[in-house]
Structure 1
Amino acid sequence: DLKQYELYDLAEHHEKFEVLSREEIERKAIELRKLLKLGNAPINNMTNVAERMGIRVMFSDLESEKIDAITVWIDRQPYIILNSRRISSTRIRFNLAHEIGHIILHSKYPQKLINDTDYHRVLEHEANQFAGLFLIPDRSLALDMDRNNMRFLIELKRKWKISLQALIYRGNEMGLISDQQALFLRQTIYRNKWRINEPLDRSISIEYPTFYKAAFKYLNIDIEKYAKELSSETGLKLRDIENIFSMNYEESKHKNVLRLLK
């Protein structure tokens, strides 16, 4: 009886590869914001957005695969698995929006096409475009970005919870930041060694999944006891089950690192 993914009307219906224009991708991003009643304001919690869509979200150690996130489909139900080693909230938010982009734009494509390296760059670019447009719409960015120095961009990051690098890219794409200024800002990020760890990354809390916890609470089920029983019945490691049910996450603003990594 748990909510399932049901946005098939919003998703692209093309089963054959077709390059999507920026305007088409923007329209999908705007439609999804309208559907979820998000307006043009900053999205407070991207994980909650995904769960509201009926998408299951979980963390796992994907470092050996060297990927940030992946979407797996089981019985027409999407599961977004995020790399638990990527502990920057803004990066996780973008990865979530990126995977939602794939779900909205590319879920009708056959797996053979998805796996074809000839199409990979285009599909990734489209998902990145969707993520940027969904996290901060063009109109909102144009109204907010009245300055483009680094100090001001850091404040925009605090408001929109999107990385400096993404803000620079979007600002440059829209003509709000010149090519010369964009180059200077990227050089500043490189000189300050911010490419991996940007300012505010440790103060913007990670948005952990709450879907399963809420369901167990509603049904008055002891989640810890149930996880142990499930481990015994299936042979799955207890740690993996706890991971699926989001039991290992510290949600404190000051302790936003997975205990799983200890």
Structure 2
Amino acid sequence: MKERVETNFNPRQLTSARVAEGLTMKELAEKSNISRQMISNYESGKTVPKGESLLKIISVLKYPIQFFTSDSTELMVGATFFRSQSAATKKKRNMQSERIKFSIATYNFFSKYINFPNVNLPEIIDKDIDEITDDEIKEKAEELRVTWNFDSSSPIVHLINKAEVNGIVIVESNMEDHTLDAVSHMYQGRPFIVLADNHESAVRRRFNIAHELGHMLLHSSVEDLENYSDRILKNKIEHQANLFASYFLLPDEAFSDSLLSTSLEFYKRLKKYWLVSIAAMVQKTSLLGLINDDQKLYLNKQISWHKWRKSEPFDDVLPIEHPSLFKKMFKMIIENNVVSKNEFFSELPLPIDELESMLETSLADQSPSVADEKPYLRLLK
């Protein structure tokens, strides 16, 4: 066993695990009682860790030993987008970039046995960010509503389920960080969205997903976010994704017709109807020119006075949507004896807590219970 581990050790997987856990080489060295230079040698491939050293590393990172001998998952071309990009540190962004690789590895595993729903999206804009107009963003949001058969005059319900039916892979991560809500990446033409475990409200989660869909449809020309300054990221790229989310969740005409008053009390009623935050609706009202700058300022001051920046009315009662596609696929392959649980863990050697988050399933339970879902899936022969 020791010889096999040494022969097949993949140094890139050690880097992946370390970065995913938010550790520097120095921190991993201190926690594992191995020199920093040796950790560097392991990650560069200069040295293969002996059994005892590898076990020390595993005890710190808590990844299965097979992870360090498995093939690496590469994100390939295209940018990885981060919700709340301007506030998140590079360390946190790198952590989530590695976690999105976990979701892609899980997707690749399931793809061997099950047909995923086809990706159903409008044509993606292929322009430099400075060339994209607000009218184009609005049109693209309207196109997505039509493509996904949402009524142009009604709120969007079951957004995650609808996205999964249309080929979007959405998973939850066990990473918690208040500066970073979500991360997305286009892999082989399929959008992946990973949600951080931030206990966000139902309306914030929905806006996060709409925001990431905006990146997928608007920003195919962005190759690497590191090429942009924080100001451009916030004022251009993030603004465009936010604008898309606003148009997508709150169609102009329908929202205007529903806005019978601009009092906070009425916005509270609208929140339960549109399933969008009060703050986002105030911003939308301003965008439509239905209130002036002074009125917008007054409403935002009232929101702050009520301490609604972090928690608004009804955040504790509106049901939070959860992804279910991976969960259904896991149930399908286990219940149909396509693979055993042991084979599953062997072929997909990821941390148990990360797998449980992505699968929405307790892996200690021998008979995971999964509710019926809408995406049509078929086992491959």
Normalising to structure 1: TM-score of the pair?
A: 0.84
* Deviation, structure 1 residue 100: 0.2
3-state SS, counterpart of residue 314 of structure 2: coil
Equivalent in the alignment of 1:35: 147
Equivalent in the alignment of 2:19: none
Deviations 1:178-206 (A, max 9, x none): 32222222111111111001101111111
Q: Distance in 1 between matches of 2:212 and 2:341?
A: 28
Matches within 5 A, 1:158-237: 158-217=272-331, 221=335, 229-237=343-351
Q: Distance in 2 between matches of 1:132 and 1:58?
A: 23
> Is the CA contact (8 Å cut-off) linking 2:177 and 2:198 kept in structure 1?
no
Normalising to structure 2: TM-score of the pair?
A: 0.59
Deviations 1:95-120 (A, max 9, x none): 000000000111x22423x3322442
Please say which of residues 204-213 and 61-70 is displaced more in the overlay.
Answer: 61-70
- State yes or no: 1:147 paired with 2:258: no
Q: Distance in 2 between matches of 1:47 and 1:59?
A: 12
> Is the CA contact (8 Å cut-off) linking 2:207 and 2:245 kept in structure 1?
yes
* Deviation, structure 1 residue 60: 1.3
Q: Distance in 1 between matches of 2:139 and 2:298?
A: 32
* Deviation, structure 1 residue 6: 4.3
User: Which amino acid in the other structure matches residue 103 of structure 1?
Assistant: M
Number of residue pairs aligned between Structure 1 and Structure 2: 245
Q: Distance in 2 between matches of 1:51 and 1:97?
A: 13
- State yes or no: 1:60 paired with 2:173: yes
Long gaps (5+) in structure 1: 252-262
- Alignment partner of 1:115 out of 223, 226, 251: 226
Provide closer, same or farther for how the CA distance between residues 220 and 234 of structure 1 changes in structure 2, counting only shifts above 3 A: closer
Provide closer, same or farther for how the CA distance between residues 242 and 26 of structure 1 changes in structure 2, counting only shifts above 3 A: same
Deviations 1:149-201 (A, max 9, x none): 01100010000110010000000111222322222221111111110011011
Provide closer, same or farther for how the CA distance between residues 124 and 228 of structure 1 changes in structure 2, counting only shifts above 3 A: farther
3-state SS, counterpart of residue 44 of structure 1: coil
Deviations 1:17-59 (A, max 9, x none): 4432111100001111011110121011121232122111111
- Alignment partner of 1:48 out of 135, 157, 161: 161
CA root-mean-square deviation: 2.5
* Deviation, structure 1 residue 219: 5.7
Q: Distance in 2 between matches of 1:227 and 1:153?
A: 49
Q: Distance in 2 between matches of 1:151 and 1:72?
A: 38
> Is the CA contact (8 Å cut-off) linking 1:50 and 1:100 kept in structure 2?
no
3-state SS, counterpart of residue 186 of structure 1: helix
Q: Distance in 2 between matches of 1:115 and 1:48?
A: 32
- State yes or no: 1:71 paired with 2:212: no
User: Which amino acid in the other structure matches residue 159 of structure 1?
Assistant: Y
> Is the CA contact (8 Å cut-off) linking 1:145 and 1:176 kept in structure 2?
no
3-state SS, counterpart of residue 111 of structure 1: coil
User: Which amino acid in the other structure matches residue 109 of structure 1?
Assistant: S
Long gaps (5+) in structure 2: 1-114, 363-369, 371-381
Q: Distance in 2 between matches of 1:78 and 1:146?
A: 37
3-state SS, counterpart of residue 67 of structure 1: coil
Provide closer, same or farther for how the CA distance between residues 166 and 222 of structure 1 changes in structure 2, counting only shifts above 3 A: farther
Q: Distance in 2 between matches of 1:65 and 1:150?
A: 26
> Is the CA contact (8 Å cut-off) linking 2:327 and 2:360 kept in structure 1?
yes
Q: Distance in 2 between matches of 1:227 and 1:17?
A: 46
